Structure 1
Amino acid sequence: MEKPEEIDILIIGAGPVGLFTVFEAGLLGLNCKLIDHLDKIGGQCAELYPDKPIYDIPGVPSQSAEEHVHALVEQIKPFNYEVFLNQRVDKLEEIRSQEGINKWKVSTSDNKQFLATNVFIAAGGGSFEPRKPPNIIDPDKFLENGVSYSVRDKTPYQNKDVVIFGGGDSALD
């Protein structure tokens, strides 16, 4: 394994809070790395609720979760950061120095290593996996053929009968 890359801030989680952390770090001139287990930035806003309206952003009466993520991405464009998707943090280890400036060694599932002065955990609900029906053997074989664990695009479901299994109130969002 190669030598860890030294950085100012490592952010675990690329949802809205992780993205805003990049913005704040950028204002201070700090360089960031952003790691997320999902295949795209935006966290639950992008993965589960892209069309859901958000009403509690200061100065913005209403915007969809997807619009919110897009606005955050636009906001951080000028700053020094890099995003690593489809990775999880496997190990977080404190490295003590004789000078009293401790750092954090971070190892990812893709064998990347970072030595960060600061680590922010902005994982929200964390990495989430769908709860699969308990009495169906290998329900994944029906994916994209009638079974979905999340709805990224509503178009395929228009004018069709739909059954929702589990998920509580948020399943109907």
Structure 2
Amino acid sequence: MQTTFQTDAIVIGAGPVGLFTVFQCGMVRIRCHVVDVLDEIGGQCTALYPEKPIFDVPGFPRIEAGRLIEQLHAQAEPFHPVFHLGQQVDRLERLEAAGTWRVATSKGTVIEAPVVIIAAGVGAFGPNRPPIDGLEAYEGSSVFYMVGRREQFRGKRVVIAGGGDSAVDWAVSLAEVAESVQVVHRRAKFRCAPDSYDKLKALEGAGKVELVVPYQLAGLEGDGGALSAVVVADLDGVDRRLPADVLLPFFGLSTNLGPIAEWGLEMGPKGTIAIDQSTAETSAKGIFAVGDIASYPHKLKLILTGFAEAAQAAHAAFAYVHPGEALHFEHSTTTGVPAGA
């Protein structure tokens, strides 16, 4: 017999913003069930770069992504969230008589609540693979689209392809452990934070990183899945051979909102969901969106922005969960974590 869970809010997405949403909801007496397509919490921070350092979380000059998830989980844990992992929300319907929303997942889980908070990040994701012949033979042994543990690249000749934040941040980080780091980019201009670029140039000046620009990937050399060299070509098609043990192509993620795109919500640019910036509410009453999936004019896509949206959503959701009851906002330094949460 199928069990239907009843709760106050359904949070879709267990990444950093989803976890902080649970905390903010708990602080205003909103209980949460959390659904995520991945088998563990943390979103991209866990699945793609658990050891990547993050520098723009307030109070932490530097914190690794995996450690941030551990801290956010500990912060949310007093409110006893229920996690439904390894499943996707397939269906959403409005139960007008009850004034609630019902979601059903790919594993048959059914949850009902007056509030849905979408914290799905960029949606389901996978790496954008470079168009190189024979690439598949090296994937998982010499070609990686994420860095799980920095130590696996100690003493290795590493070639990084890409010019965004991930490419630059990992070049800076792996320069501390790798035998060599070469960064291949099709132009001299990088699309990354200015401070990260300054660190990259400093490492280039110290001879710890080589910038191979303007070049692009052209081929791989090796045997049995073991890479020996990466072949690159300049804008005139002239090849250059880079001795390498590892190739890390960082060309962004291929993302897909999946069923969320079919829910009739007003959409924003590039597959995002439009929200009211003051409340994080979408075009549907009782449905909120926070984090990278939410959009409004001049939004900054930062984790701290998502954290602020989580707080706004929780406070706006209070009226749906506790109708007719006034919310008297108090700072956590005054209230602490509510007893019996």
Task: Please classify the TM superposition score into its range, dividing by the shorter chain length.
Answer: 0.7 to 0.9
**Counterpart of 1:75?**
75
Q: Taking structure 1 as the reference length, what is the TM-score of the superposition? A: 0.84
1:82-101 to 2 correspondence within 5 Å? 82-97=82-97
Aligned counterpart in structure 2 of residue 170 of structure 1, from 161, 166, 169: 166
Aligned counterpart in structure 2 of residue 129 of structure 1, from 119, 126, 150: 126
Query: Does structure 2 retain, via aligned residues, the 8 Å contact 1:4–1:105?
Result: no
Aligned counterpart in structure 2 of residue 150 of structure 1, from 139, 146, 149: 146
In structure 2, relative to structure 1, the CA distance for the partners of 1:167 and 1:50 (3 Å cut) is farther
Whether 1:113 and 2:110 are equivalent positions in the alignment is: yes
Alpha-carbon shift at residue 135 of structure 1 (Å): 4.7
Query: Does structure 2 retain, via aligned residues, the 8 Å contact 1:104–1:116?
Result: yes
Q: Which amino acid letter does the alignment assign opposite residue 110 of structure 1?
A: K
% identical aligned pairs: 44
Q: Which amino acid letter does the alignment assign opposite residue 122 of structure 2?
A: G
Alpha-carbon shift at residue 116 of structure 1 (Å): 1.6
**Counterpart of 2:211?**
none
**Counterpart of 1:53?**
53
Gapped regions of structure 1 (runs ≥ 5): none
Gapped regions of structure 2 (runs ≥ 5): 170-341
Alpha-carbon shift at residue 61 of structure 1 (Å): 3.1
**Counterpart of 1:31?**
31
Distance 1:149 1:86 in 2: 21
Query: Does structure 2 retain, via aligned residues, the 8 Å contact 1:30–1:80?
Result: no
| CA-atom RMSD in angstroms | 2.3
**Counterpart of 1:63?**
63
Query: Does structure 2 retain, via aligned residues, the 8 Å contact 1:104–1:119?
Result: yes
Distance 2:163 2:12 in 1: 25
Query: Does structure 2 retain, via aligned residues, the 8 Å contact 1:36–1:87?
Result: yes
Distance 2:17 2:65 in 1: 13
Q: Taking structure 2 as the reference length, what is the TM-score of the superposition? A: 0.45
Distance 2:139 2:54 in 1: 29
**Counterpart of 2:194?**
none
Distance 1:83 1:33 in 2: 6
Deviating more after overlay: 8-17 vs 38-47: 38-47
Moved beyond 6 Å, runs of 4+: none
Secondary structure of 1:2's aligned partner: coil
Q: Which amino acid letter does the alignment assign opposite residue 27 of structure 1?
A: M
Secondary structure of 1:10's aligned partner: strand
Distance 2:104 2:43 in 1: 21
Paired residues, number: 169
1:16-27 to 2 correspondence within 5 Å? 16-27=16-27
**Counterpart of 2:99?**
102
Pair member with larger Rg: 2
Alpha-carbon shift at residue 63 of structure 1 (Å): 1.9
Query: Does structure 2 retain, via aligned residues, the 8 Å contact 1:19–1:76?
Result: yes
Secondary structure of 1:94's aligned partner: strand
Alpha-carbon shift at residue 169 of structure 1 (Å): 3.8
Distance 2:19 2:40 in 1: 12
Whether 1:14 and 2:14 are equivalent positions in the alignment is: yes
In structure 2, relative to structure 1, the CA distance for the partners of 1:166 and 1:17 (3 Å cut) is same
